[in-house]
Structure 1
Amino acid sequence: MKMTATETRIQQTYRQEEVQEILQLAIAQKSNRGEFTREQLFEMAAELDLTPETVQAAEKAWLNQQLDAQKRKAFDKYRWHQIKQKFGKYLITNTFLVTLDLLKDSHLSWSLIILLIWGLFLSLDAWKEYHLQGEEYDRAFESWKRKYELRRSAKLLWQSFKERLNRAC
């Protein structure tokens, strides 16, 4: 299969995304380990005529994105834990109720209604939690994050108070 002259000609202009992809490939080929020091980051940026301030701002934004991604992962883990706890309570309680109903009449009557209604609400709750997207997910995440930060602040304040109290004694 022979390539034509137009197919082998390299583009003269690139979109920003294309530049990023090409540079990522070039950087990946340059380093065997795929790791760079902060000093190397600033050297590469200088070669691209980027000021240290620009790189520091980008680095800070990247770190904030990483922190946000970690918090979102913790939030998703928390939601999964909540659903598992609710499901565990559902199983334990309904096992007891079904057993009690079977011992009384040897067939299911009233416990089946409780089992189905509670199961419906549990299913709707699980569906709601895991089908949150966009603004709904962001609102739920922000609410969780505020509570998380408040608990963390209270814990740090309590630890600080205990340390001061221990030093005073």
Structure 2
Amino acid sequence: MDKLYAMEDAQRILQIAIAQETESGELTQQQLLEIAEELNISPATLKSAEQEWHIMKGQAEDHRLFQSHRRQRLKGQFGRYAIVISFLVILDFVAPGGSILGHLGFSLYVALFWGLGLSLKAWRTLQTSGERYERDLDSWRRKRSVRQTINGVVNRFLGSA
């Protein structure tokens, strides 16, 4: 009796075998077609799978760029927070007269409330799934698309001038 493999297991075994068989770890399109033919996969199905793979690869790159953008923005917000709070703490220490909390008065309240808001933004930035994340990602994609369109028009205009 033939041994049965789950589809995922069979795919993983074939991936490992193909990786071991090819020296450079890369396949030409002709080699890919030959493998598909040996597996009784039609060229149309292979072409469709390749298109789907390109879409998935593009989406993964979008997610990576979006996460990088969000982390950079968060770093900037933390930097502004640190600078402003440091300045306020220095002002509290330099200002005459103390408060109930010692020398930290106004700066402590600003640090706490701004810090709370910043913590919530950090938590949201670390979330990489869910409805809110998808909405933010779609918004970022639209803005990036508009920015790329405007840059293309400006470059064409400047290039022809």
By the TM > 0.5 criterion, same fold?
Answer: yes
2:150 aligns to what? 154
AA paired with 2:53?
Answer: W
Q: Which amino acid counterpart does residue 156 of structure 2 have in structure 1?
A: S
Give the deviation of 1:24 after TM superposition: 1.6
Q: Comparing 72-81 with 19-28, which one deviates more in the overlay?
A: 19-28
Q: Does 1:134 align with 2:130?
A: yes
TM-aligned CA distance change 1:132 to 1:57, over 3 Å: closer
Counterpart AA for 1:120: L
SS of aligned partner of 1:14:
coil
1:19 aligns with 2:10: yes
Give the drift of 1:132: 4.8
Letter in 2 for 1:16: M
Return the alpha-carbon distance in structure 1 between the equivalents of residues 147 and 132 of structure 2: 23
Indicate the residue corresponding to 1:121 in structure 2: 117
RMSD: 1.7
Q: Which shifted more, 23-32 or 33-42? A: 23-32
* Distance 1:58-1:132 versus aligned 2 partners, 3 A rule: closer
CA distance in 2: counterparts of 1:89 and 1:21, whole angstroms: 47
Give the Å deviation of 1:32.
Answer: 2.7
Any idea what the Cα deviations from partners look like across 1:56-77, whole Å, max 9, x if unmatched? 1111111111111111100000
Matched, 1:64 2:27: no
Residue matched to 2:35: 44
Alignment correspondent of 1:5: none
Unaligned runs of 5+ in 1: 1-8
CA distance in 1, matches of 2:2, 2:37: 26
For 1:41, the aligned partner's letter is L
Deviations 1:98-138 (A, max 9, x none): 10110013611111111111111111111122135222222
1:4 maps to none
User: Match of 1:116, as an amino acid?
Assistant: L
Work out whether 1:103 is the aligned partner of 2:94.
yes
1:89 to 77, 80, 83: 80
Question: Counterparts of 2:128 and 2:12 in 1: how far apart (Å)?
Answer: 32
Rg (Cα) greater in structure: 1
Give the Cα–Cα distance (whole angstroms) in 2 for the partners of residues 18 and 153 of structure 1: 44
Identity of aligned residues (%): 38
